[in-house]
Chain A
Amino acid sequence: MIISLIGTALNSRLTDGIFKEKLNTSLADARDTTQSVDIQLTIAQYQSAAVTKKMVSDIFQVPPTVGDQSGREVALFPIQTAGGSEPNYQGISNLLSPTSIPAAFRAKVRTGKAQMWQRTNLDYLNGRHIPGIVVGNIVRIPTVGNYEFYVLFSLSEQRQTFALISQTLWVAGIALILMVGLISLLVIRQITSPIRQAAQIAERLSDGDLDQRMQVSGENEISRLGIAFNEMAVALKQQISRLENLSRLQQRFVSDVSHELRTPLTTLRMAAQVIYSARTKFEPTVARSAELLFAQIERFEALLSDLLEVSRFDAEAATLELDEVDLTALVYRTVDYVHPSQERIITIHAPDRPVIVAADSRRIERVLRNLITNAIDHREESGVDIYLAENENAVAVAVRDYGVGFAPRDSQRLFERFWRADPSRARVRGGTGLGLSIAMEDAKLHQGRLEAWGALGRGSQFVLTLPKRAGVEISTPPIDVIPSEEARPIM
């Protein structure tokens, strides 16, 4: 932009200079020529007609030949003559057309006193047009009369020079622009490429690849950025691996302890079973103790299994074994398992066909078993409804009871480990306190959801929503977590 402005200014200054130079020489030349023509014509009137004619024609011979580009032409027109018989000096050199001299200019010259000039085109009869200058004068010859005398100078050479300059300027300008562009590109790259690299590496670091480092070279602000960046990455890696080690150790410990507990617990369990089976032979207090021993060992085992499962989730060692599962059959089977008695308190509302979902049947069965057991525990004589529904990309199972329920604010917290609705209330029921949090982990492992709705005294509803295929987004859940009869119209 600036370059082109400078170029244009330079261009016009140069052309102005060249033109002025030419104009000055042209004006001087024209003055000389006019004077010599004046003298010649003054002399001519005293000569014989033939000599006069020769002299006049000589005037028009003065300019060099046609086509000379630096050449000049002359033109002579009478304004008024003293007598009709006097030789009528008139003519134009070479093949110049009289239209080369604009009529308006001629009028100005005729009325003016001094030498005048104007830019014009030199039109030749052979069709050539050359830009030029016309300089006009009045030649007064005492007895013969007044004549207009014009000297025309071609500017073609100047135009060529001008074109050359202009061309040079353009080439230089474009070259300059390209060079400046290239240089700034290089400079920008020098600065931005480390920044871009930093951004890329930061992305990779946050993706977990902690071994990424920036390349540092030189000793400028950019390399200082690189060094600081790399120091940060090292510190980050150390901190993360320290935490990872700690958590791995801790998880490993929990897992090892649990496994070490299993062998003695197996012995304990079998021994308790033997004692329990023989309880009728004992005194009542011993018999009752045998029952308690047996029951508590069972509970201990459940707790250990759940702890192990939780430690597996914490260690991210839990893996999905996806299979095509008929959820309808799974729901019926789980209900049969959890509540085989004849007293039908559970009503299943499921489509009369298989509902196929890609899932880990062992985990889903565990979730369902947990939800159904919870519902039976908290139903308080009410029935339990189980709903199964599907839509395009998701399936859902809802377990609804109409018993004690829970405060709405607890709907998130009850998935926490060992959470209790009322800590002061003694735990009557068994259960490990880990069931719902394991169920939640199982749901998450499937990229599904487990949600709870509850109201004190009006029961609760738990909804498990699973994507039909792994990785499918659940847009609208087939079953809303708030039971339809409890949903209030939105104000």
Chain B
Amino acid sequence: MTLIMVVEDDHDLAEMLGIVLNDAGYEVDLVNRGDDALEVFRAQNPDLILMDVMLPGVDGVELVRQIRQESMVPIIMTTARGETADKLAGLEAGADDYLVKSQYQEPELLARIKVQLRRRPAPSAEPLALGPILIDQVAHTINRDGKVIPLTRLEFDLLVALAKDPGRVFTREALLSEVWGYQHAADTRLVNVHIQRLRAKIEYDPENPDLIVTVRGIGYKAGQN
């Protein structure tokens, strides 16, 4: 059974989310306070976290940062404030996706959760490489110069998508569709932030990236190495 931890301080919304997610076949752990969340997370080891940004105790962005230090579990944030800065803060801290409260419908919520949890097609055992980065698709790890670099599942998928097709230029929309599973994605900044996070982890010089290159006016591609 897949376990989803819902961190939401509004009891009614938390209950409603519980109903919807239970109906969809997930097991749900409800947590109302930010400062309780880390403990519950350690005890329950959920498969996905759905959490509000504004939380009593520890706020959502800080919570994401703490969780990311010990786990690469998929995290979807929900925010009542649709401001760009609010969205980006969560993503930069390590969240994989975000939803603006009241702007999503139930099917969209479930679709996003499914994307984050999806079972990848049986990965090829072929080792993949991007410059000095060795990608082990079976063990789901990458290493550079003999050192393992921890990546979230989403970052890993993003890297694999780019590395598999080295000559191809991916538009942001294409990446949203292939990695996030969105058909009509509104916000391409989701891609920008994740590319930046990925670069910060794998590039020697994230300011002048040569593993993931920006193609002006179009999107991104794997660097020529």
Using CB atoms and an 8 Å cutoff, list the residues of chain A in contact with chain B: 259-267, 269-271, 273-274, 301, 304-305, 308, 312, 317, 319, 321, 323-326, 329, 333, 337, 354, 356, 361-362, 365
Contacts and interface: CB of A to CB of B under 8 A. Distances in A.
A262 B13 CA distance: 11
* Size range of the chain B interface in the assembly: 20 to 34
27 contacts: A260-B80, A262-B100, A263-B10, A263-B80, A265-B101, A265-B102, A266-B102, A267-B12, A267-B16, A269-B105, A269-B106, A270-B16, A270-B20, A271-B16, A273-B20, A273-B106, A274-B20, A301-B102, A305-B82, A305-B103, A308-B82, A319-B84, A324-B217, A329-B171, A356-B217, A361-B188, A362-B187
Contacts of A325: 217
Contacts of A362: 186-188
Interface of B: 10, 12-13, 16-17, 19-20, 23, 78, 80-84, 100-106, 171, 173, 184, 186-189, 216-218
Contacts of B83: 312, 317
B87 to A, nearest CB: 11
Indicate the member of A266, A274, A321 with the most B CB atoms within 10 Å.
A266
A337 B184 contact: yes
A262 B20 contact: no
Grouping DSSP codes into helix (H, G, I), strand (E, B) and loop, the A interface class, with mixed when no group exceeds half, is helix
A263 B103 contact: no
Given A262-B80, A263-B80, A269 B19 contact: no
Contacts of A305: 82, 103
A304 B217 contact: no
Given A265-B102, A269-B106, 14 more contacts: A260-B80, A262-B80, A262-B101, A265-B101, A269-B102, A270-B106, A305-B82, A312-B83, A317-B83, A319-B84, A329-B171, A337-B184, A354-B217, A362-B187
A65 to B, nearest CB: 101
Contacts of A317: 83
Contacts of B218: 326
Nearest to B218: A326
A303 to B, nearest CB: 11
Contacts of A326: 217-218
A365 B103 CA distance: 17
B16 A259 contact: no
Given A270-B106, A273-B105, A263 B13 contact: yes
A321 B189 contact: yes
Nearest to A260: B80
Given A321-B84, A333-B173, A266 B187 contact: no
B106 A324 contact: no
A331 to B, nearest CB: 14
